[in-house]
């Protein structure tokens, strides 16, 4: 865990933490100075010499001097812009929660069933299916590591079976990792020399959870800043808050202290302490991507800012709360995945209580904002990528693409003619949460 500091004893009470933090720092400063001077009140008392007969205690009874934990020297000399190879376990979270359903989508899609009976009689179709699923894992890894994508798709089923993330000689990216630095996730070197992740919590949590990944999997990141010259934890976290490089809210969007940040990336589990909490609104916002907002050039933690706004809409009665929708058990998979769409006139159609309906309703609220409407603090809708949804929009327009994306979210992976297709993100996420890894005999449906 992060060492306790004055800053770690308070949390952010509102959407404008900066002014509050400065006021509190000013209030704490006299107390810190008084502590350094030995306590203050005793200075008014006369000081007398100790009795001559009293001898000093033996050296063995002297209280030990508190030791400052040694700094991690591995990254102290890195500078902004450096690309470095690290292990996932070296990355410290700067947020407490993640959208579990975004992780479940990745874990569901990345693990195609090699023994699936659907296309067992046709190796060509089976290989197509595996390239769309297992192959996607390697495409995503290559892109996120700055290597563009796989050098080529799997040519045989045996090749797909043999490929593993933790065995880099079993697959190849088109370019070497780190080549395209703009694609890399970012870190800040902390006061203690450790790496604090400012972008990529979902990516690395997914890679940590997959069977051929894990905490020791090598990954490449870009150094965004080096703050190892700061005096200690208080100064470091003050800087992180001021520069909006941390999100101090838990899975229920309640303020937390830096001491309450998780000690590792990844889903929480009973087997391993220190994991990250679930934020259901963060999951919801992920599925509104390319429907209500675009994902290019967004500020850090943009999805949490949208999630905060959606929560406030629900509290104000402008949007149904998530518990009004059938999004998880005991609802059936069919109920959760019931399609919900928008007509050309933007009027809702289909189910009104499914997961897709929650995405549709949230997207309509987000898309109805003007560019200058404030979403969080001083962040307006335009800066957070909001897509303007327009009725009767032409084919090829952002609105038509948004409507198509919504329609695809819950669809399964078999076309009407029996051939494979790309399934929807919700379909993978809901099935993985309910059924675990895709396999015959489970509730995936084959």
pLDDT tens for residues 318-344? Answer: 999 999 999 999 999 999 999 999 999
> What ranges do the domains of the chain cover?
71-252, 279-410
d(CA 180, CA 149): 11
Mean pLDDT, the chain, integer:
88
Full-model pTM: 0.85
Cα–Cα dist 376/351, whole Å: 30
Under 8 Å between Cβ of 75 and 227: no
Q: pLDDT digits over 390-427, tens only?
A: 999 999 999 999 999 999 999 999 999 999 999 999 99
> Using CA atoms, how far apart are residues 177 and 149, in angstroms rounded to an integer?
10
Residue 264 has pLDDT above 60, yes or no: yes
Across residues 45-50, what is the average pLDDT?
A: 39
Where residue 67 falls among pLDDT bands split at 50, 70, 90?
A: low
Per CATH, the number for 71-252 is 3.90.1530.10
What's the pLDDT at 361?
98
**Pairing mode, if any, of strands 277-278 and 97-98?**
parallel
Confidence check: pLDDT of 153 > 70: yes
Using the predicted structure, report yes or no on whether residue 185 has a pLDDT greater than 90. yes
Given this model, what pLDDT does residue 68 score? 64
Residue 123: pLDDT over 50: yes
Residue 52: the pLDDT is 44
């Amino acid at each position: 865990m992060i060492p306790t500091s004055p800053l770690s004893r308070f949390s952010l009470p509102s959407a404008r933490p900066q002014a509050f933090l400065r006021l509190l720092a000013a209030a704490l400063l006299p107390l810190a100075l008084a502590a350094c001077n030995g306590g203050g009140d005793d200075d008014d008392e006369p000081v007398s010499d100790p009795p001559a007969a009293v001898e000093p205690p033996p050296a063995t009874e002297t209280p030990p001097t508190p030791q400052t934990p040694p700094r991690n020297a591995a990254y102290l000399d890195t500078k902004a812009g450096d690309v470095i190879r690290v292990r996932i376990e070296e990355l410290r979270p700067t947020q407490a929660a993640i959208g579990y359903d975004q992780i479940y989508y990745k874990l569901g899609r990345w693990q195609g069933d090699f023994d699936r009976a659907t296309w067992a009689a046709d190796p060509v179709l089976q290989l197509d299916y595996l390239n769309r699923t297992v192959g996607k894992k390697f495409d995503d890894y290559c892109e996120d590591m700055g290597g563009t994508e796989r050098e080529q798709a799997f040519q045989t089923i045996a090749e797909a079976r043999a490929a593993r993330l933790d065995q880099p000689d079993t697959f190849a990216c088109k370019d070497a990792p780190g080549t395209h630095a703009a694609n890399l996730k970012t870190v800040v070197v902390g006061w203690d020399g450790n790496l604090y992740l400012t972008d990529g919590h979902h990516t690395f949590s997914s890679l940590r959870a997959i069977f051929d990944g894990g905490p020791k999997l090598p990954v490449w990141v870009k150094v965004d800043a080096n703050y190892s010259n700061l005096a200690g934890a208080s100064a470091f976290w003050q800087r992180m808050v001021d520069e909006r490089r941390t999100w101090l809210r838990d899975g229920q969007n309640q303020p937390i202290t830096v001491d309450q940040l998780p000690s590792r990336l990844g889903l929480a589990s009973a087997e391993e302490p220190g994991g990250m909490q679930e934020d259901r609104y963060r999951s919801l916002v992920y599925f509104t991507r390319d429907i209500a907002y675009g994902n290019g050039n967004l500020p850090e933690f943009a999805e949490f800012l949208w999630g905060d706004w959606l929560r406030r809409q629900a509290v104000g009665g402008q949007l149904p709360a998530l518990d009004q929708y059938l999004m998880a058990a005991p609802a059936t998979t069919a109920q959760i995945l019931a399609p919900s769409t928008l007509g050309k006139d933007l009027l809702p159609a289909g189910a009104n209580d499914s997961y897709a309906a929650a995405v549709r309703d949230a997207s309509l609220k987000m898309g109805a904002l003007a560019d200058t409407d404030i979403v969080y603090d001083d962040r307006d809708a335009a800066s957070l990528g909001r897509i303007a949804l327009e009725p009767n929009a032409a084919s090829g327009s952002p609105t038509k693409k948004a409507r198509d994306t919504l329609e695809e979210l819950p669809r399964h992976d078999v076309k009407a003619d029996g051939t494979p297709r790309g399934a929807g993100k919700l379909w993978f996420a809901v099935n993985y949460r309910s059924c675990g890894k895709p396999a015959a005999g489970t509730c995936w449906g084959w």
